[in-house]
C-alpha cells in the first residue's frame, strides 16, 4: 500500500521491498502463477492497470490524495484502499484469487480483511518490524509508533503463514510477537544474477567517470538514520586523519535519496561531509536504474552497509553478485546476506574508528580484498530469485491446503 513496485528503489519509501515484489512476481509468472499487485495510486496520470510482464499486473487503487502522502498518514486511508481492492475483485466471478500475499504491516491490515471476505489464506511478509527497529534505533531516529506495533501484532495473529527472510527474523517473529512457530516459513530473498554479475572494474569506472587508481568506498540505499550512511562518512574522515596521503585517491560514493525521517534533512549527506571536511572526496548520486547501479558495484572496492537493522540486505547481495565484497553491520539479515571472512566483513557496532579499521583493510590489503571478491561471487550465486519464487509457491500451496483442511473440519 505505501509504495509502488513501479517506483525507483533508493528514494522515498521505495527500497528492497519494491525489488523483492517485482522480482518474485516475474519469477512466479514464469512458473505459471498469475500475479496481481495492488498499490496506492500516487498520480492521476497513472493508468488503472500496468502490465509489468505477461502474467504480472499492477492495479492502482485510489486512496487519499494523489500527491505525496506521508507514510504516517496512510493508516487513515486503509478503509479507502481496502474498498478499492474489494471493488476490483468484485468485477470477476468468485474464485479468481487463490491466495493473498501482503507486504509490510499496512498491506497486512488490508490482507486480513480481504482474507475474511474472500475466504482465502493470507501469507504475510513483514520486511521490517517495529519492535526490532525500536530495539536498534540510531541516535537521531524516531521510534516506530504504538499503532504500528499493534497493527503488526494483529497481522501476526491472523496470517495463515508468515514469511521470514532469515532464521533470525523467524526467531524475532516468535520471540517478540508470539508467532506460532509452525506458521513461520523462512524464504531467503534473491538477486538478479543476469543484471548483477562480475564485469570489468576499469570499464565501469570509465563509464562513471571515476579515476582508475581510486580507492572507492560505496554506499547504496535510502538516506535515513536507519541506514546510517553517516557512519561511512565518519569512518572515511578518520581514515584521512590517519593517512592524509589517501585524500588524493579516495572516493566515497553515496547512491540513493532521502527517505523516511531523512526527508526532513534532504542535504544531510553533504552537510555531514562539509562538517567533517571531506566534501572533496564525497560524491552524492541520485538513485539509478539497475544496469547503472551494477556499474557502481563493479567500480567499488567495497560496498558499505552500516545499517542499524536490515531484515535481509539486498544491497549486500547485489554487490557480492557483481564481485565486490561488503563491509556490513553485524545485525539482522546481514549476517545471512554476508558470509563473514568469505564474501565480506561483518562489523560489530557503529563506532567510526572500528569501521575505519575494517575499511582500511580493503584499501591497504588488495590480496585479501581479491580473495573476498571471489568468495562474494560464489556466495551470491546461491541466492537466485527463481529459488525464492519456487519456495514461495510451496508456502502458498501449504497455506491453501491447510485452510482447506480447516474449512472441511468445520463442516464435519
> Binding site: which residues?
2, 8-9, 13-18, 71, 104, 128, 148, 222, 227, 297-298, 300, 310, 318, 324
CA distance 150 to 153: 5
Q: Are 123 and 396 in contact (CB under 8 A)?
A: yes
Residue 133 vs residues 59, 165, 177, 227, 376: alpha-carbon distances, Å: 30, 16, 13, 11, 28
- How long, in residues, is the chain? 412
CB neighbour list of residue 180: distance below 8 Å, 6 or more residues apart:
none
Neighbours of 98 (CB within 10 A): 14
Sheet containing 250-255: order of strands: 282-285, 250-255, 215-220, 302-305, 326-329, 344-347
Annotated binding site for UDP-N-acetyl-alpha-D-glucosamine: 8-9, 16, 222, 227, 310, 318
Name the one residue in this structure whose C-alpha cell is 488490508: 110
CB neighbour list of residue 116: distance below 8 Å, 6 or more residues apart:
none
CB neighbour list of residue 182: distance below 8 Å, 6 or more residues apart:
none
Backbone angles phi, psi at 257, to 5 degrees: -135, 165
CA distance 305 to 264: 22
Annotated binding site for Mg(2+): 297-298, 300, 324
Annotated binding site for 1D-myo-inositol 3-phosphate: 2, 13-18, 71, 104, 128, 148
Amino acid at each position: 500500500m505505501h509504495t509502488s513496485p513501479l517506483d525507483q528503489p533508493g528514494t522515498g519509501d521505495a527500497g528492497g521491498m519494491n525489488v523483492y515484489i517485482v522480482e518474485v512476481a516475474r519469477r512466479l509468472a514464469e512458473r505459471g502463477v498469475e500475479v496481481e499487485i495492488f498499490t496506492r495510486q500516487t498520480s492521476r496520470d497513472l493508468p488503472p492497470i500496468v502490465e509489468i510482464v505477461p502474467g504480472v499486473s499492477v492495479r492502482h487503487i485510489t486512496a487519499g490524495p494523489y500527491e505525496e502522502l506521508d507514510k504516517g498518514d496512510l493508516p487513515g486511508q486503509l478503509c479507502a484502499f481496502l474498498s478499492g481492492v474489494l471493488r476490483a475483485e468484485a468485477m470477476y466471478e468468485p474464485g479468481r484469487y487463490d491466495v493473498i500475499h501482503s507486504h509490510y504491516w499496512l498491506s497486512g491490515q488490508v490482507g486480513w480483511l480481504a482474507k475474511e471476505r474472500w475466504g482465502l489464506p493470507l501469507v504475510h511478509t513483514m520486511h521490517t518490524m517495529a519492535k526490532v527497529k525500536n530495539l536498534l534505533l540510531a541516535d537521531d531516529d524516531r521510534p516506530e509508533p504504538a499503532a504500528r506495533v499493534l497493527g503488526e501484532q494483529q497481522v501476526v495473529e491472523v496470517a495463515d503463514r508468515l514469511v521470514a527472510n532469515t532464521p533470525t527474523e523467524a526467531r524475532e517473529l516468535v520471540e517478540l510477537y508470539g508467532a506460532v512457530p509452525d506458521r513461520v516459513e523462512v524464504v531467503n530473498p534473491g538477486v538478479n544474477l543476469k543484471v548483477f554479475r562480475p564485469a570489468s572494474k576499469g570499464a565501469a569506472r570509465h563509464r562513471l567517470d571515476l579515476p582508475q587508481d581510486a580507492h572507492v568506498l560505496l554506499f547504496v540505499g535510502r538516506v535515513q538514520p536507519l541506514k546510517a550512511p553517516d557512519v561511512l562518512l565518519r569512518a572515511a574522515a578518520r581514515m584521512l586523519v590517519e593517512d592524509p596521503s589517501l585524500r588524493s585517491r579516495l572516493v566515497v560514493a553515496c547512491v540513493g535519496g532521502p527517505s523516511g525521517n531523512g526527508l526532513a534533512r534532504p542535504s544531510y549527506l553533504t552537510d555531514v561531509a562539509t562538517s567533517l571536511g571531506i566534501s572533496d572526496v564525497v560524491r552524492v548520486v541520485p538513485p539509478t536504474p539497475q544496469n547503472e547501479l551494477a556499474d557502481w558495484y563493479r567500480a567499488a572496492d567495497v560496498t558499505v552497509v552500516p545499517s542499524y537493522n536490515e531484515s535481509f540486505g539486498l544491497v549486500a547481495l547485489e554487490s557480492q553478485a557483481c564481485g565486490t565484497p561488503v563491509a556490513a553491520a553485524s545485525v539482522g539479515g546481514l549476517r545471512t546476506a554476508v558470509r563473514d571472512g568469505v564474501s565480506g566483513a561483518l562489523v560489530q557496532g557503529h563506532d567510526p574508528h572500528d569501521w575505519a579499521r575494517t575499511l582500511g583493510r580493503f584499501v591497504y590489503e588488495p590480496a585479501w580484498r581479491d580473495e573476498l571478491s571471489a568468495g562474494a561471487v560464489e556466495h551470491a550465486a546461491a541466492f537466485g530469485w527463481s529459488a525464492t519464487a519456487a519456495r514461495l509457491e510451496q508456502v502458498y500451496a501449504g497455506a491453501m491446503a491447510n485452510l482447506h483442511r480447516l474449512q472441511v473440519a468445520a463442516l464435519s
